[in-house]
């Protein structure tokens, strides 16, 4: 395994995950506020599940996202 290539590819993947996830969350929150489903001061429980085909990997990350 080429450590440098692996590290670069992993960083690119994680950057894509981070940017995409942020856009999706922001859009969903704005839509929920616009529709009245959320008031804008809630704390939301979030969960991400990471899995990789070919590896016995399933990792869950949970946290809270405060809107105000």
Please say whether the beta carbons of 48 and 61 come within 8 A.
yes
Q: How many domains are contained in the chain?
A: 1
7 is in which domain, residue-wise?
Answer: 3-66
Give the Cα separation of 58 and 37 in Å (integer). 31
Contacts for 42 with CB less than 8 Å, ≥ 6 apart: 66, 67, 68
Please write the tens of the pLDDT for every residue from 13-47. Answer: 999 999 999 999 999 999 999 999 999 999 999 99
* Alpha-carbon distance values, 56 to 46, 49, 50, 52, 62 (Å): 23, 13, 11, 7, 20
Confidence of residue 2 (pLDDT cuts 50, 70, 90): very high
Residue keyed to tokens 């590290």: 7
């Amino acid at each position: 395994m080429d450590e440098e290539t692996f590290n670069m590819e992993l960083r690119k993947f994680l950057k894509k995950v981070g940017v995409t996830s942020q856009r999706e969350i922001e859009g969903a929150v704005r839509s929920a506020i616009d529709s009245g489903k959320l008031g804008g001061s809630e704390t939301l429980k979030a969960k991400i599940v990471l899995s990789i085909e070919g590896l016995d990997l399933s990792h869950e990350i949970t946290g809270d996202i405060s809107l105000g």
